[in-house]
Amino acid sequence: MAKFAPSMMCVDFAQLASEIKELEKANVDMLHIDVMDGHFVPNYALSTEDIKAIRSLTDIPYDVHLMITNPDDHLDLFANLGPEIMYIHAEAPPHLHRTLGNIQAKGIKSGLAINPGTPLHAIEDVLDVTDVVMIMSVNPGFAGQKFIPSAFDRIDRIIEMIESKGLDTKLAIDGAISQMLSSA
């Protein structure tokens, strides 16, 4: 079953309260909070203070997508804010299996994001500690990009990988989803 998690990176923070009320009225399943460090991706986005502001206005569950170079250095900081899922990028930590296990040990679902150009075999051996694989259908770091059609094939291949291992890992897609849905 599809769930929708609109990106909070795209809201007008000057109108945060009213935009969150609109999302509550729309019964969104979750909020997606992008955190960018200007190093892993060439952009900066939401901070812990932004997350606290969002949390003060709603009880909608949320995930945190850490587009940062050293996620291990920040797991406790973001875990303490209470996300349901914490995503890290397959390309970021030196010890991916350990980092995903550390997220799970904090009682948070481990999320693994994979960039469009990263070979899928890079995640195959860590699926046992991954609750959700997030396929990036754009290059991470900026809103408003065009959907990369090869994401469809990558989704199919990841599903095959998960099923062949008998896992219950879920899938998420991040990037240009509204464009994809409107052209389907």
Distance in angstroms (rounded) separating the CA atoms of residues 15 and 57? 12
Distance in angstroms (rounded) separating the CA atoms of residues 138 and 147? 6
User: What is the per-residue pLDDT for 14?
Assistant: 93
User: What is the per-residue pLDDT for 182?
Assistant: 45
Checking if the pLDDT of 84 tops 60, the result is yes
The CATH code of the domain at 8-183 is 3.20.20.70
Distance in angstroms (rounded) separating the CA atoms of residues 22 and 24? 5
pTM, whole model, 2 decimals?
0.91
- In the DSSP assignment, the letter for residue 8 is G
Q: Which residues are catalytic?
A: 34, 174
HSE-CB for 121 with a 13 A CA cutoff: 0
Domain boundaries, the chain: 8-183
Distances (CA, A) of 110 to 6, 22, 73, 77, 87: 19, 28, 16, 15, 6
- Work out the average pLDDT over 156-162: 96
Residue 53 identity? A
Is 70 in a helix, a strand, or coil? coil
Confidence band of 139 (pLDDT split at 50, 70, 90): confident
Confidence band of 7 (pLDDT split at 50, 70, 90): confident
- Over residues 38-75, the pLDDT tens digits come to 889 888 989 999 999 999 999 999 999 999 999 999 99
Confidence band of 101 (pLDDT split at 50, 70, 90): very high
**Conformation bin of residue 166: beta by default, left when phi > 0, alpha when psi is -120 to 50:** left
